[in-house]
Amino acid sequence: MTETPPPRRARAEIDLGALRANVRTLRARVAPHVRIMAVVKADAYGHGAVRCARAALGAGADWLGTATPHEALALRAAGITDVPVMCWLWTPGDPWDRGIEAGLDMSVSGMWALREVVAATEATGKRARIQLKADTGLGRNGCQPADWPELVAQALKAQARGLVKVTGLWSHFACADEPHHPSIAAQLDVFRSMLQYAEKAGVEPEVRHIANSPATLTLAEAHFDMVRPGIAMYGVSPSQGLGTSAELGLRPVMSLKASVALVKHVPAGHGVSYGHHYVTEGETTLGLVPLGYADGVPRHASGRGPVLVGGRVRTVAGRVAMDQFVVDLGGDTPEPGAEAVLFGSGERGEPTAEDWAVAADTIAYEIVTRIGARVPRVYPGNGD
């Protein structure tokens, strides 16, 4: 039997060379003793977790980070066994035992989690590596300052019994993408005092960390022993306020491309796509792009999303549908099968994920991360 060839319809090209360059750029931004945790949660923000993890490690990252334990276990199952992997989003009943067996660094934000991990150590007979997470002001996961003394005391008790090792103390910023936001200094103050408390009580962490991409790029005093960049590694700016990826010296890693499925002439006054929110002004040509919101193209960018076709940037005409949308080609007649580039590095005149974020009134994180499973990721030329 012959294998089904990859679909011509659309593809997300992943430039691992760019990812490696971004890791080296980030490495140059931090002091030599500061370790880099490459954040590869959510399938490496849609770029392919295992490929990106290997590329990041090859370029100088020291740790890997995921949200869920299942994401972390998948890295181990893929053969990444010789570097520390941390995961931080645990839900009651999650597989702590498998995390222990896999040598994961498991985040603990509250007493329920400590109880579950301790029970799992008793079941497996092995010591767990845990990192205590402090809520220094984000108000999301993490232990409140008022509850910190109890969490620290109970974790140290379990450590004294040989059940766990507290390998890290950590937190996460709320507004690091808005430099000088008053919450940044406030969170750093709370983090320092929660660190001091835990260390005085007897915790000897291997790593203390709080910095995501924006803090890695802008705030050396937040680097501590390790930084945890995600979006910057994928070559995307964390926020418009920090500048474009090019201004930050980062190279976008993902290019989203499709093959134009149909080109046709239509008369003036022709409605386009559901709801007829776009009506042709004059006689023109339309190009059908076979990607839609099921592929992660935001419906919110209807009438606004930019697409490079035939050497010119066009705009989505009318609504983005589930599987397809249309661009007005203004009389141009590229061949069916011509390349439509929704976003890429910007170096060849194509839009960037940041441009799509503006068009869809969202953040570029969401643009790259939501590209659907129906779009194959391809790794041209530069493998890993």
Ligand X SMILES: Cc1ncc(COP(=O)(O)O)c(C=O)c1O
Q: Which residues are catalytic?
A: 41, 274
Binding-site size for ligand X (CB under 6 A) equals: 11
Which phi and psi (to 5°) does residue 283 adopt? -60, 135
Residue selected from 16, 18, 39, 108 as contacting ligand X according to rule CB under 6 A: 39
Q: Which stretch binds ligand X (CB under 6 A): 187-195, 228-236, 261-269, 270-278?
A: 228-236
Q: Which stretch binds ligand X (CB under 6 A): 76-84, 92-100, 227-235, 263-271?
A: 227-235
Q: Which stretch binds ligand X (CB under 6 A): 94-102, 225-233, 292-300, 301-309?
A: 225-233
| Cβ neighbours for 278, distance < 8 A, ≥ 6 positions apart | 271, 272, 303, 317, 318, 326, 328
Q: What tokens does 60 get?
A: 């100088």
Q: Distance between CA 38 and CA 54 in Å, rounded?
A: 10
Smallest distance, ligand X to C-beta of residue 39, A: 4
Q: Which stretch binds ligand X (CB under 6 A): 184-192, 230-238, 246-254, 350-358?
A: 230-238
Rg (CA), the chain: 24
For residue 235, which of 98, 362, 354 has the smallest C-alpha distance?
Answer: 354
| Cβ neighbours for 134, distance < 8 A, ≥ 6 positions apart | 142, 143, 145, 148, 169, 170, 171, 190, 191, 194, 195
Q: What tokens does 107 get?
A: 């985040």
Q: Which stretch binds ligand X (CB under 6 A): 70-78, 158-166, 229-237, 350-358?
A: 229-237
Q: Distance between CA 337 and CA 4 in Å, rounded?
A: 19
Residue selected from 19, 61, 118, 231 as contacting ligand X according to rule CB under 6 A: 231
Please name every residue paired with 132 in a beta bridge, in sequence order, or none if there are none.
Answer: 108, 169
79-118 residues in contact with ligand X (CB under 6 A) are 88
Smallest distance, ligand X to C-beta of residue 211, A: 8
User: Which of 175, 261 has the CB closer to ligand X?
Assistant: 175
User: Which of 56, 231 has the CB closer to ligand X?
Assistant: 231
320-379 residues in contact with ligand X (CB under 6 A) are none
Smallest distance, ligand X to C-beta of residue 109, A: 11
DSSP 202: T
Give the side-chain half-sphere CA count within 13 A for 142: 22
For residue 340, which of 359, 312, 373 has the smallest C-alpha distance?
Answer: 312
User: Which of 213, 280 has the CB closer to ligand X?
Assistant: 213
Please name every residue paired with 13 in a beta bridge, in sequence order, or none if there are none.
Answer: 255, 378
Q: Distance between CA 336 and CA 19 in Å, rounded?
A: 32
| Residue 64 near residue 53, CB atoms below 8 Å | yes
User: Which of 107, 345 has the CB closer to ligand X?
Assistant: 107
Residue 35 sits in the site that holds ligand X (CB under 6 A): no
Cβ-closest position to ligand X: 230
Residue 238 sits in the site that holds ligand X (CB under 6 A): yes
Residue 230 sits in the site that holds ligand X (CB under 6 A): yes
Residue 223 sits in the site that holds ligand X (CB under 6 A): no
For residue 35, which of 181, 229, 234, 200 has the smallest C-alpha distance?
Answer: 229
User: Which of 205, 229 has the CB closer to ligand X?
Assistant: 229
Residue selected from 131, 136, 167, 213 as contacting ligand X according to rule CB under 6 A: 213
DSSP characters for 98-134? HHHHTT-EEEE-SHHHHHHHHHHHHHHTSPEEEEEEB
Smallest distance, ligand X to C-beta of residue 105, A: 13
Smallest distance, ligand X to C-beta of residue 255, A: 19
Site string for ligand X, 156-195 (x = CB under 6 A): ----------------x-----------------------
Residue selected from 109, 136, 167, 212 as contacting ligand X according to rule CB under 6 A: 212
Smallest distance, ligand X to C-beta of residue 85, A: 14
- Which residues would be at the binding site for ligand X (CB under 6 A)? 39, 88, 172, 212-213, 228-232, 238
